[in-house]
Amino acid sequence: MINYFKYITKNGLNVTYVEKKNFNKCYVGIGVKYGGCNLSYTIDGVTYNDYPGMAHFLEHKLFSMPYGDAYTEFTKLNASANAYTSCDKTVYFFSTNENLYEPLKVLLDMYFTPYFTSEGVEKEKDIIVSELNMYDDKVYARFQK
């Protein structure tokens, strides 16, 4: 039996909940319609331009927290976390066989209260530039820059 619920929170967050009876593992994800192909965005009629790799940069940086690395927090809670950036979206997710609510708090905390330091930004910029350069000799990636 599958129970499926969908609703929108007061702040506009779309929530989908799927419950499968007799399944032990829980999967939770949160995403944004902003990926590697998005090189600009508009807020209140003003368009802002971004650099290639910005979505992937943000994917990495959202795991930085004032108390350390969110990956470590997920591990402490027996949850496995990851994220990915595609052309049109970025998704953060975790899975667990145990308590759902504590890892969910970590996921929501990292997503809605990003933490950036100058040192962390500089370090991550170098990582993202290195990753972008890995695709210079890939024909399929040349048209996405």
Instruction: Determine whether 59 is an active site residue.
Output: yes
CA proximity to 106, closest of 91, 97, 93, 118: 93
Q: Any residues with CB less than 8 A from the CB of 20 and at least 6 apart, and which? A: 1, 2
Candidate list 19, 59, 98, 131, residue with the active-site label: 59
Amino acid at 117: T
Q: What residue spans of 36-86 are helical by DSSP H?
A: 54-61, 70-76
Enzyme catalytic residues: 59
